[in-house]
Structure 1
Amino acid sequence: MRSLALPSWMSGQNSRALAAPVLIIRMLAMMVLPLPPFLLDMFFSFNIALSIIVLLTSLYTVKPLDFMAFPSILLMSTMLRLSLNVASTRVVLTEGHTGPDAAGKVIEAFGHFLIGGNYTVGVVVFVILTIINFVVVTKGAGRIAEVGARFALDAMPGKQMAIDADLNAGLIGENEARSRRKEVSQEAEFYGAMDGASKYVRGDAIAGIIVTVVNILGGLYVGVVQHDMLFADAASNYMLLAIGDGLVAQIPSLVISTASGIVVSRVASDEDVGSQMIMQLFEKPQVMYISAAIVGGMGLIPGMPHIAFILLSAMLGGGAYLLSKRLSGEGAMAKTGAGPSGAVAVEGPPSVAVPEVEEATWQDIVPIDTLGLEVGYRLIPLVDQAQGGELLKRIKGIRKKFAQDIGFLAPSVHIRDNLEMRPSAYRILLKGVEIGGGEVFLGQFLAINPGMVTGTLQGAETIDPAFGLPAIWIDASQRDQAQSMGYTVVDAGTVVATHLNHLINTYASELLGRQEVQALLDHLQKEAPKLVENLVPDTITLPILQKILQNLLSEGVHIRDMRTIIETIAENADRTKDPTQLAEQIRIALGRSIVQQIFPTGDELPVITLDARLERLLLQALSTGGAENMAIEPGLADTIMIQTQQAAQQQEQMGYPAVLLVPGPLRPLLARFLRRAVPHLRVLSNNELPDSKTIRVTTVVGGQA
């Protein structure tokens, strides 16, 4: 025997999903098909009940997003009222001559209740209700929704940046960050939808007036002309039906408009509207005492309703007394230390609640990010994926390329917005200290002058933050012209990414911490376990290995070939543990790679050398004082520095890299000495050059010394 089951489209979630399409179809049917009075009564009653449910739901809503369906409900209820107006108008005009109950008991009851035997009063009251709904409630709610939508959209990037900052700092997890981003997006969409839906309600109020006027005029014409009714009888029937029809539609409209204003005017809190009102209106006994005195004084004025004012004054005074007594009891409890277990008793004014201060813990110490990027608020779109920002992808690409070229994985870049900075400024931090920064402009392009341009451009002159070249900020319309003149044209995101990439490579030695060195060893051990097995700590300690690698990185030597580096350390560690000497031995072993890095093509190496007499003088000073105490006469030192700077500039003007070739013992000393004066100079030793390369001396330093 087979069990009978409902089709999947009729059960559970799917059946609820059919509610909206079914309601739309019914509303369309009401506009086209005639409805009997009984069905009109049912639909009008449903409309009133729906408006009450919406109002109560809005009152018990804690925050607007708890009632996200409200814009759609607002639209659907408006269309329902208009459909009922169309259906009732048909019945009123076709059956109104039969009596005031022609369109159902609901319309008749509302008409009798409002008109009360006086048609003029009924019309006036109906118009007043409509004006209140249209001019006050609906217009005010629409304005709040419009402003709320604008502020929600303006605050959206800042909120998303705050979420990313909390995520990068480890304060929240990925799931919570995704949930908060979704909430921020939904909030902006909600206020935007409310702004649009409120326009329907305003149109509904206007339509209500027009429909009522049409019902009155059309009814009088149909009753007098077509059914030969007396004018007084026609006016009695059709005005009652028209006013009742308008009222039975406008009251739910007014209720839902009030709910709309309540929802969009909510301020975020953990309480519903009723709790907020009671707590904030009646929490201060002083206010209630003063109000009781003022109301009581008004009751004593001759001609005033004494009983009403004095009774209300007594109620306010009694409520103030009970409230002050309750607060005094809570204050006494706080002074005596009574309270829940574990609470801290604090003496003080009874109406002031002093929060318990938590003890400081190690969790309060926030570690400093190794690498950080701070941006002004106008640059938030660069790092916001929701706004099409590509900088995050470029930073990922920078770290990937750095790992492939340099030989280890750089720390993550933590991005934050900083409202204290200029709106278009950014700065790059290394261990909390600024190492670079600049200012870029979204929507504009930076035209960099590489030194061979054929014209000038209109724009704001500046300096390329990465390499210090002259540049100009230009509009997008000048981009093609700038490229045709020989400028290198890049957008704002590329400027920041290039600057970050340059600084990461420049400070590579400081980015290599012990954690990164250990990760390098762990990675190498998977491929060559025997090579790493006895290295640390038997052969060399981890701090010395870190110092060796940092010495190599500080002079631009890549550490991708860890196998050669480890083998060289193992061969020479028995003779010395000095990081500088071991780094020199590694440079000799990596000589072919170092030269290939500087001179990618060609067998001829154009280099700068020292004068032979200067070489002998420096070697003699080195042998006399040693590497630690070697002293160079100040005048000679200045001459070496100035002539090396000039020689390096000549090399770069000829299109060659600035390379100084010196004897092996002098290389580490001259590299440290010249690093600050000529940062782009690479100092090589004769031992590092492969035999297959040919040397061509372009400049001699010290020839006049």
Structure 2
Amino acid sequence: MKRLLNNAVALFVITIILLLIIPLSPFLLDVMIIINMAVSMVILLISMNIKTPLEFSIFPSLLLITTLFRLGINVSSTRNILTRQGEAGQVIKAFGDFVLQGNPVVGFIIFIIIILVQFIVITKGAERVAEVAARFTLDAMPGKQMAVDADLSSGLITEEQARKRRSDIQREADFYGAMDGATKIVKGDAIMSLIITAVNLIGGSAIGILQSGMGFTEVLSVYSIATIGDGLVSQIPALLISTATGMIVTRSVSEGSLNTDVSKQFLAQPRAIMTAGLVLLILLFIPGMPKPQLLILGAGLIVVGWRLSKKIKEAAYADGQQEEKKRQEPEKEEQAPEEYYRDINNVYSLIGVEPIEMEFGYSLIPLVDEASGGKMMNRIVIFRRQYAQEMGLVIPSIRLRDSAALNTNQYRIKIKGEEVARGEILVDYYLALEPSNPAGEIDGIETIEPAYGIPSKWILPENKEMAEIYGYTVIDPLSVMVTHLSETVRRHAYELLNRQETVQLAESLKKTAPELIQDSVPGIVSYSLLQKILVGLLKEGIPIKDLETILDVAADAVSAGNDLNMTVEKIRCALKRTITRKFCQEGQMKVITLDADLERMMVENLIKGENGIQISLRPDTVQHMITQIGEEMKKFADLSREPVILTSQVLRFYVYQLLEPIYQGLYVLSFQEITNNIQIQVIGNIKP
């Protein structure tokens, strides 16, 4: 039984094919017609109750199946009409009698009107909307994908949510592309209905007169009823399906089901309802107008509009009273500054610094203040959780406050009391990141995206959709600010790992590896040394989430007499899977390598100075190498990847030490830090 249900659709399609071949009795034909009407009604109701088209993503395939089903019924009914002298079941006869009402001419006119309404109005309109929606959706795909990446990097969404959004974007493009083709099926179905109607009438009349010897009046009566009835029982379900098609492709900005949206948006405009009622009452003064109907409808609309208006005003008054009550609540009396700082212990609060601060100009306060609907804190909480899961470090609390020293649209980010980044936001605009080859130009204010330095434009909200079509990545002001904050914190995370946090991490590991902590901390690896190791890893973007492996390797390295740098290098090799995952995409890692002659020259020029071992090269050699690296890094920008230099383990730390002051976004890895199951693609080679 379960296997039968799993293959129900396939069996149904096979049954439809058989309808084209096997004759059906009038009884079975009635059953098929009723099923067709029920399925069409269900599809229409589903299309009215979904919120997004993707909730009914099987609709294009369903459209093909239902159209084929109707054609199969038409073939069977045509066979019965022509072979049974118009006897094609009770449903067809009932529809034909009801519409004709003894007048075949009127019946044909009504039938033709139904066909034309479906063909010219609904089908043609839905076809055009689906075609435009498919084109615009495909054009906007790159911008939507980049917007998902921006939300992911800012901490607004998780990796799982980003994966789902990317999938939805792809499914949406596939859906509208399928709908563009599926609407052609509906159009062909309407044309085929006209042809089948003509065949039924002409062929039936010829058979009745030539083979059955019926009179012209009798033939017209019998076959017109059957023809009109057959046309109606196929076209009414077709009309329902066409209406469902139009509803699905036109619901691009809905927030709920059609019923919910209509009631919500109509009832929110009581003045329009009362005005319509007043116009109907004015029509009473036109001679000959039906006064009772106009009076009832006009008065009803005015009463409904008045009651809705009253309800809206009462709700607004209640909200106002609540706000007034909040304002009138007695505030706590603040202690005078002179009195407060009389206690010397309170003076110490002035000399502390916050780990992370973010200050705002006056215009940006609504984005931050939760009382005004600002969601900055929620976004920071999401970023803190995401960063902890990714890197293994908990970002401390971020202090948010306004500052009169900044311009109204400016903000700045401080680490331990000192400014490290600054930006400017236009609250009523969107930031559009320029693609490499935009499909068109969009009007806006030229600027530079603060987190990544990408050329951008501040655009008006009404230009947002067009910018996405042109390939721009459009970001709201809050996301711009959160992204800048998150990237700044990532770059300076190693400065935030203090001794207290190091102890906290060790205490947390004690719950899962108590023997390791007892044997190594602080006996072999002191908290001071552990902090320096973790800082060294974080500074180069290496996650410290696998603290058990880090501490285990560190204990062995320190026991063997290795210094700090050598200990960190051994830990990095132990974390090769983590490092590979971070810099590898789709089983491939793109890197810059150092020429063998250059590496040999570097090894020969390793000297020990006051600050430890360093590479000592001639200034022109260093300048030549730096220039080459700068040119090769541009390739990574085009690929949207982090630039990586791959070198030998002996030189890795010293190459990083040489390049870090110049290229802070450059990562230096060794071959021993990469797993063997990935493909390394060299896109540049640095020569001496």
| SS of the residue 2:287 aligns to | coil
Q: Is residue 18 of structure 2 the alignment partner of residue 33 of structure 1?
A: no
Tell me which structure has the larger Cα radius of gyration: 1
2:314 to 329, 341, 351: 329
Q: CA deviation at 1:175?
A: 2.9
Cα separation, partners in 2 of 1:209 and 1:121, compared to 1, 3 Å: same
Report the alpha carbon displacement of residue 213 of structure 1 after superposing the two structures with TM. Answer: 0.5
Choose which of 252, 257, 263 in structure 1 pairs with 2:242: 257
Q: Which residue of 2 aligns with 1:84?
A: 73
1:161 is displaced (CA, Å) by 2.6
Report SS of the residue matched to 2:20. helix
Deviates more, 1:181-190 or 1:85-94: 181-190
Q: What is the TM-score when the length of structure 2 is the normalising length?
A: 0.54
- Aligned equivalents of 2:538 and 2:372: distance in 1? 47
Residue number in structure 2 paired with 1:208: 193
Q: Which residue is equivalent to 2:47? A: 58
The answer to whether the 8 Å contact 2:280/2:295 transfers is yes
- Seen in structure 2, the aligned counterparts of structure 1 residues 344 and 126 have a Cα distance that, compared at 3 Å, is farther
Partner residue in 2 for 1:45: 34
Determine the structure 2 residue equivalent to 1:153.
138
1:16 is aligned to 2:29: no
Instruction: Give identity over the alignment, percent.
Output: 35
Provide the residue aligned with 2:334 in structure 1: none
Q: CA deviation at 1:295?
A: 1.4
Shift of the 262–111 alpha-carbon distance from structure 1 to 2, 3 Å rule, reads: same
Equivalent residue, structure 1, for 2:571: none
**1:185 aligned residue (162, 165, 170):** 170
Distance 2:184 2:312 in 1: 47
The residue aligned with 1:242 is: 227
Q: Which position in structure 1 is the counterpart of 2:425?
A: none
| Aligned equivalents of 1:651, 1:192: Cα separation in 2 | 50
Q: Which residues in structure 2 correspond to 1:474-493 (within 5 Å)?
A: none
> Which amino acid letter does the alignment assign opposite residue 423 of structure 1?
P
SS at match of 1:229: coil
Distance of 1:63 and 1:602 partners within structure 2: 63
Distance 2:432 2:246 in 1: 36
Secondary structure at 1:304 match in 2: coil
CA contact (8 A) 1:55 1:255 kept: yes
Do the aligned residues in 2 keep the contact of 1:51 with 1:253 (CA within 8 Å)? yes
Compared CA separation, residues 34 and 324, structure 1 to 2 (3 A)? same
* 1:319 correspondence with 2:331: no
Pair 567,234 (structure 1): closer, same or farther in 2 beyond 3 Å: same
CA 1:344 to 1:145, structure 2 compared with 1: closer, same or farther past 3 Å?
farther
Matched to 2:259, the amino acid is G
Cα contact 1:535–1:570 (8 A) shared by 2: no
Deviation at 1:15, TM superposition (A): 3.1
Q: 1:46 to 1:602 in 2, by over 3 A?
A: closer
CA contact (8 A) 1:288 1:317 kept: yes
Question: Is residue 144–residue 264 contact of structure 1 (8 Å, CA) maintained in 2?
Answer: yes
Task: Give the aligned residue type for 2:204.
Answer: G
Instruction: Tell me the residue number matched to 1:224.
Output: 209
- CA change 1:63–1:293 in 2 (3 A) is same
Q: Per-residue deviation at 1:192?
A: 1.9
Aligned residue type for 2:435: P
Matched, 1:423 2:435: yes
Matched, 1:280 2:269: no
The aligned amino acid for 1:65 is L
Q: 1:240 to 1:513 in 2, by over 3 A?
A: same
Equivalent in the alignment of 1:134: 119
Letter in 2 for 1:85: N
* Residues 478-510 of structure 1 deviation map (CA, whole Å, 9 limit, x = unaligned): xxxxxxxxxxxxxxxxxxxxxxxxxxxxxxx99
User: How many Å apart are 1:156 and its aligned residue?
Assistant: 2.4
Distance 1:265 1:248 in 2: 27
Amino acid in the other structure paired with 1:71: P
Choose from 84, 89, 92 the match for 1:95.
84
Any gaps of 5 or more consecutive residues in structure 2? 330-369, 388-429, 439-448, 457-490, 510-515, 541-552, 566-594, 611-617, 627-656, 663-688
Report the Cα distance in structure 2 between the residues aligned to 1:169 and 1:182, rounded to whole angstroms: 20
Partner of 2:93 in structure 1? 108
* Residue ranges of structure 1 left out of the alignment (5+ in a row): 1-9, 347-354, 371-417, 440-508, 552-559, 572-595, 608-626, 628-643, 653-670, 677-705
Pair 516,194 (structure 1): closer, same or farther in 2 beyond 3 Å: farther
- Residues 1:241 and 1:356: Cα distance change in structure 2 (over 3 Å): farther
Tell me if the contact between 1:514 and 1:542 (Cα under 8 Å) persists in the aligned partners: no
In the TM superposition, 1:461-500 aligns within 5 A as: none
Helix, strand or coil: the match of 1:32? coil
Q: 1:310 to 1:345 in 2, by over 3 A?
A: farther
The higher relative CO (CA closer than 8 Å, separation ≥ 6) is in 2
Of 147, 157, 167, the residue aligned with 2:152 is: 167
- In the alignment, is the contact (CA less than 8 A) between 2:60 and 2:178 conserved in 1? yes
Taking the aligned partners of 1:260 and 1:421, their CA distance within structure 2 comes to 35
Deviation at 1:601, TM superposition (A): 5.1
CA contact (8 A) 1:93 1:222 kept: yes
Pairwise CA distance, 1:280: 1.4
Aligned residues: 445
Query: 2:294 pairs with 277, 293, 309, which one?
Result: 309
TM (norm. structure 1) is: 0.53
Residues 116 and 563 of structure 1, relative CA distance in 2, 3 Å threshold: same
TM-superposed deviation, 1:304: 1.8
Shift of 1:273: 0.7
Helix, strand or coil: the match of 2:84? helix
User: Would the aligned equivalents of 1:425 and 1:437 in 2 still touch at CA under 8 Å?
Assistant: no
Give RMSD over aligned pairs: 5.2
